[in-house]
Structure 1
Amino acid sequence: MQREFDFVSPQDVLYIEDHPTNVHLMQALFKRCPHLNLMVARDGQEARELARAARPTLLLVDLRLPDCHGSDLLEELRLLEGYADIPAVAVTAEPAFQIEGTSFCEVWPKPLDLAFVLDRLAQLVERAPMVPGRESAPAPALHDT
């Protein structure tokens, strides 16, 4: 079931994931969400660089990154201006991961349930605060990074 979105402003979502198959799957999913601009970082360092240049409305974070743990990276990103209240989802194959004591709002277990992810994307982005200055921006093309 595909959900309709009620707004036209593009919103950035930062996906931090090192596995190419998972990146391709998420890129394919985001093609169904033309109002969302998927930015991909393949490790913690790239995520830090992207985070300094953009302020997404949602963070999707793998936990097992090649240069850090996703929970530690998220806490570091939370210290950046404007990142304290951005919803963050742990996207992980770690079955025992608990979000208590972290600033993740929820966990999406791998393998992903695609219908669930599309529905949650709609709900999380609708609740996310609009980034100032983005209200009238044209919809960008999907990034294949």
Structure 2
Amino acid sequence: MKKLLLLLPFMVFSYCLMAQSVQVKMDPIVADMLDQYTTTNKTQNTVSGWRVQILATTSRERLESVQQSFRYHYPNIPVDWEHDRPYYKLQAGAFRTKRDALRLKYILSREYEGLYLVRDDAIGKGELLNYY
């Protein structure tokens, strides 16, 4: 009986909290801006993120050789290249945060020299990696 009397004030207090409701009155301009923001983000298929650049070279043959070796050793990590004249750049991974990309950089630094992180503003949402 004593325990019930001790619990009674807490039960009454929690019931009072549940009975209260909060109403938010939003300015119509703010509501419209929020709707536009939501619509824009739903239609956007790319996000900003990070990749690990493995190689930058002017030799296409060197690029293809390193890419083939990388794919053999790390089949679970996507790797692709881009041509930014006069360089061919080989980049691996696709991460939302810099911290996740740093983990991959650390793993790859045992085998590859001169790695660094690059920012990419056009990473496909399905392309993102959540580990390493």
TM-score of the alignment, normalized to the shorter chain, above 0.5? no
Instruction: Give the structure with the larger strand fraction.
Output: 2
Give the greater-gyration-radius structure (CA). Answer: 2
